[in-house]
Amino acid sequence: MKLIFAIVNDEDSTRLISELNKENFRVTRLSSTGGFLRSGNTTLLIGVEVSELEFVLEIIRKNSSSRKVSIQTNTAMSEMGTTFMPFPVEVNVGGATVFVVDVEHFERM
C-alpha cells in the first residue's frame, strides 16, 4: 500500500477531490499555506494499493493545472530614498507537489 501526499492549489482542490471520490478513492483534506507566496494550498492524503497508484497520479495531473498570475511586490526606489513602489511580477501557481511513501501497516476502524 502507498500513501500519497498531494499539495495542490486551493482553486484545484474541490474539483480534484470530487474526481477522486467519483472513482471511489477516500481523501483526507488538510488546509495548508505555501511558503513562497503564502497562498492557500490544500494537502491531500490518499491511501492506495500499488496497482492503483498510476491511476490516481493521472487524476491528480489532470485536475491540478498550473497557471500564471501577477502579484504585487514592493521594490525600494533607491534614487528616491526609502519610497516603496508596487511592482507587478508574473509567477506560476498551481500544479501539484506529490510525495508517495510506503505504508507499513493500514487499518480502517
Q: What percent of the chain has pLDDT over 90?
A: 51
Average pLDDT on 80-96 reads 65
pTM greater than 0.85 (yes/no): no
**Cα 13 to Cα 77: distance, rounded to the nearest angstrom:** 39
All three cell numbers of 24, joined, read: 471511489
> What value does the mean pLDDT take over residues 82-101?
73
- Domains, the chain: 2-66+93-102 (3.30.70.120)
Per-residue pLDDT, averaged over 92-106, amounts to 87
pLDDT tens for each residue of 14-62 = 999 999 999 999 999 998 876 555 667 899 999 999 999 999 999 999 9
- The secondary structure of residue 50, as a DSSP letter, is G
Separation of alpha carbons 40 and 14, rounded Å:
13
pLDDT of 95 reads 79
CB atoms within 10 A of CB 80: 9
